[in-house]
Amino acid sequence: MRAVDLIRRKRDGGRLTPAEIGFLVDGIADYTVPDYQWSAFLMAVVWRGMDPVETRALVEAMLESGSVIDLSAIPGPKIDKHSTGGVGDTTSLILAPVAAACGVTVPMVSGRGLGHTGGTLDKLESIPGFRVDLPLGDYRRIARDCGLVLIGQTDEIAPADRFLYALRDATATVESIPLITASILSKKLAEGIDGLVLDVKTGDGAFMRRREDAEALAHSMVEIGGSMGKPVRVLLTTMDEPLGTSVGNALEVRAAVEGLAGTRRDAMTELSLELAAEMLLLGGVAAERGAALERCRGAIADGSALERFRRVIAAQGGDPRVCDDPVRVLPRAPCVAPFVAPRSGWLRQFRAWSVGQASMLLGAGRATVTDAIDQAAGIEILRRVGASVTVGEPLAELHFRPERGAALPAALELLASAVEIGDEAPASPPATRILNRFGAT
Ligand code: URA
């Protein structure tokens, strides 16, 4: 078997057998299929797609590239959540401690920033000392002791996804239903979970911009996850403007701490609670959505969710004082520049894709696999869609280091293309951004 023949077949619209897909994935570990061949294959899949049999074979081969963890010694339900990627979307850092405080163990394996979207691992690493590369023994112990653990793909857990995820980020091959399905399910099914809640995004800042594509992605994950014995529940949510008002790693951690402390209530915290409630339902910890939501709100109100976050941060080597004083503990960018309203009127659009791109330009994301990111860089949004604004009024703040100053004009230009200000107020987006729910109950 030769990789070049398989690439050619996929390029020309043919199908691959499970054995052929297994051959390509096995070739990652022993370098017999190098990254340039994988890059070409990924692009062929973006264009030609994969059918459900091929997609399932890719999930299985990527899952088998590492171990499937056994968490059966931990009592109670083990449920995780994953998002297909958004801008200003820090829900994981809120819902994981909330669900843990309500009796669900959350053994989370996450990714780094992908394209214009942020990644949970990059955000966590802005907490001084926080380690996302823990050995399996620590992963199990912390999951048991804290009720949650937050790590990345490792040599043991979904190593094929770690390799492909970074490659896709740098080769513009993220936007593909089979590739996203395989990336998410391979690492999530390796975790030893009983079920998975997915936040599938649609809209300007989502990888699946069109609702029908997002729904197809959701069904792909529900069906393949279910056929592999893991119930998957999906919330389909909008990603037209950034979900929260903070975009960028340290800025988003601060937003999450404020959400957990109950001092920030916005679309991001609301959606986090909705997702956490689904985790309680899927785990059988609550029988009905209203009661599940109440319990999640209670975990914020009584401080138990923030306490869980503090514990897991300490267990993973981070500075838990971030939970008391995020502004002082997290890295801060020395330069802050305003983006002002070009005219007066109603803010009708603040497009997430352009905001994500602008944040990347300031240093919050990567352009190549080896790029270092700036934890402090990002954008604070000051005005939301639906606001009435006056010409010259600041709509956002750009946070960056002086070395990145040259990128400022391009970032401002992106923000100018992100906003639409009109004479009429827009219809307001749903408060929780939820369009639909489906999958396992
Ligand atoms: N999240 C992932 O883990 N993988 C993807 O491909 C997209 C979002």
> Six-digit token pair at 127?
């907490």
Count of beta carbons in the 10 Å neighbourhood of residue 36: 11
Cβ(279)–Cβ(95) below 8 Å? yes
Select from 4, 122, 160 the least CA-distant residue to 376: 122
Tokens of 197: 């809640």
Q: Is the CB of 183 under 6 A from ligand 1?
A: yes
Partners of 150 in the β-ladder:
108
Q: At CA 320, angle to CA 317 and CA 324, rounded to 5?
A: 165
Q: Which of 45, 59, 17 is nearest to 223 (CA)?
A: 59
Separation in Å, CA 261 to CA 65, 269, 301: 39, 11, 8
* Residue identifier of the C-alpha nearest atom 1 of ligand 1: 84
pLDDT at 367 over 80: no
Q: Which of 82, 224, 237 to mutate to test the pocket of ligand 1 (most atoms within 8 A of CB)?
A: 82
Q: Is 59 in the pocket of ligand 1 (CB under 6 A)?
A: no
Q: Which residues are part of the catalytic machinery?
A: 82, 161, 168, 183, 187
pLDDT tens, residue by residue, 35-48:
999 999 999 999 99
pTM: 0.93
Phi, psi of 3, deg, nearest 5? -60, -40
Q: Which pLDDT score, from 0 to 100, does residue 117 have? A: 84
Question: Ligand 1, closest atom to CA 179?
Answer: 6
Q: Which domains does the chain have, with CATH numbers?
A: 3-49 (1.20.970.10), 79-326+434-439 (3.40.1030.10), 331-422 (3.90.1170.30)
Q: Indicate which residue's Cα is closest to atom 2 of ligand 1.
A: 184
- Is the shortest distance between the CB of 115 and ligand 1 below 6 Å? no
Residue 368's pLDDT is 74
Of 114, 120, 64, which is closest to residue 90 (Cα–Cα)?
120
Residue to probe by mutation, ligand 1, list 62, 83, 174, 196, most atoms within 8 Å of CB: 174
d(CA 206, CA 355): 12
The pLDDT mean for the chain works out to 94
> Which atom, in ligand 1's list, is nearest to the CA of 110?
3
* Structure tokens belonging to residue 382: 């000051």
Q: Which atom of ligand 1 is nearest to the CA of 117?
A: 8
Nearby residues of 87 by Cβ (< 8 Å), 6 or more positions away = 116, 117, 118, 205, 239, 242, 243, 247, 352, 353, 355, 356, 359
What would the mean pLDDT of 388-408 be, rounded to a whole number?
97
Q: What is the pLDDT of residues 308-355, one digit of tens each?
A: 999 999 999 999 999 999 999 999 999 999 999 999 999 999 999 999
387 CA → ligand 1 middle, Å = 32
Assess whether pLDDT exceeds 70 at residue 88.
yes
Which residues face 190 on adjacent strands? none
**Nearest alpha carbon to residue 383 among 426, 356, 347:** 347
Residue 92 CB less than 6 A away from ligand 1: no
Backbone angles phi, psi at 331, to 5 degrees: -65, 145
Q: What atom of ligand 1 comes closest to residue 174's alpha carbon?
A: 6
Q: How far is the CA of 350 from the centre of ligand 1 (A)?
A: 24
Nearest-CA residue for atom 6 of ligand 1: 180
**Is the pLDDT score of 437 beyond 90?**
yes
Residues 185-226: tens digit of each pLDDT:
999 999 989 999 999 999 999 989 999 999 999 999 999 999
Contact 102, 299 (CB under 8 A): yes
Q: Is the pLDDT of residue 430 over 70?
A: no
Token representation of residue 218: 């959701």
174 CA distance to ligand 1 middle (Å): 8
Confidence of residue 370 (pLDDT cuts 50, 70, 90): confident
Taking each helix axis as running N to C, give the angle between helix 35-48 and helix 159-170, from 0 to 180 degrees, rounded to the nearest 10.
Answer: 70
Does position 431 have pLDDT exceeding 80, yes or no?
Answer: no
